[in-house]
Amino acid sequence: MAGKIKAMIDKLLVERAKGNPIVEKTIKAGLLMRGIKVENFDRNSPDDPALIAKLTDMGKTYGINF
């Protein structure tokens, strides 16, 4: 399977930042420090379970259903 990480990142940014560009920027920087460089992922990126777990954690408290 591929593309899940890109979809999760997009959803995380939309639902946590709610259109606030500063929040979006802080989330992207936070992802980078977790080893997730947003620009590196597209629809063909493999579904790495470790990265999926990190993204799930970042959405959990916000009730984001991936």
Applying CB under 8 A, the residues found at the interface with other proteins are: 16-17, 20, 22-23, 25-30, 32-35, 37, 57-58, 60-63
Question: What totals of helices (H) and strands (E) does the chain contain, helices first?
Answer: 3, 0
Closer to other proteins by Cβ: residue 35 or 66: 35
CB of 60 to other proteins, least distance (A): 7
Helix/strand/coil (H/E/C) assignment for every residue in 30-65 = HHHHCCCCHHHCCCCCECCHHHHHHHHHHHHCCCCC
Closer to other proteins by Cβ: residue 37 or 43: 37
CB of 3 to other proteins, least distance (A): 18
